[in-house]
Amino acid sequence: MTETAADGHWTPGTQILWRYRENAGDRVHICRPVTVVQDTDELLAAWLAPDTPCVKPVLADGTPVHREPLASRYTKPRTVVRDRWYGMGVLKLARPGEPWSVWLWWERGWRFQNWYVNLEEPRTRWSGGVDSQDHFLDIDVFPDRSWRWRDEDEFAQAQHDGLMERELARQVREAGRAAIDVVASWGSPFRDGWEHWRPDPRWTVPELPDGWDRAPGRSGVPAG
């Protein structure tokens, strides 16, 4: 159940859905229940807890997407399945209007691993969460402030297979360069100490609600 403050933001501890639409349509194919850490005009922060029930895409025969050779990964029929988030949890940070979100990864024992810049369509907010569309290309950012492009092969294959038009691909690469500029200047959220954050021990692992795919996809208002 979502709870909002008087200013319309979600209150900390509220459980919402963080979802992504498929790239060849409007169907939601990734759905992750998360707990709101912070929601302001400047930032939405949400915690994806270990063992959270999620929805993810697989090939129609059940093969995990990452195990399919790249040449046919985006052309074979797909479906979605329910699963659970593996390993440590992930803290997701997103600023309104930015075409990326920043995820924080930890190893066991809360040893910080790295930031992960997920290039994506700016999120839209609806009553139960936020929606976006993944843009394939990503960036790893490390504690020593170094960085590297990630999944450039998938980014190229998606263009080859018609999942991303040339102009959108140009915009995505441009967004990635803008994110790298933020890294170079060590701007927010990298400088803000989120790697030292820890979830409230009173929070429960969210459930995956019925109708997780029925709420608006492209409708809504700009969100974090």
Looking at CATH, the fold of the domain delimited by 15-191 is given as FomD barrel-like fold (2.40.380)
Q: What angle do CA 223, 48, 55 make, to 5 degrees?
A: 85
Instruction: Return d(Cα 52, Cα 61) in angstroms, integer.
Output: 24
**pLDDT tens profile 10-28:** 999 999 999 999 998 889 9
**pLDDT tens profile 181-199:** 999 999 999 999 999 999 9
pLDDT at 97: 96
Paired tokens of 41: 């005009």
For residue 121, CA distances in Å to 95, 132, 134 come to 12, 5, 7
Cβ count near 59 (within 10 Å): 16
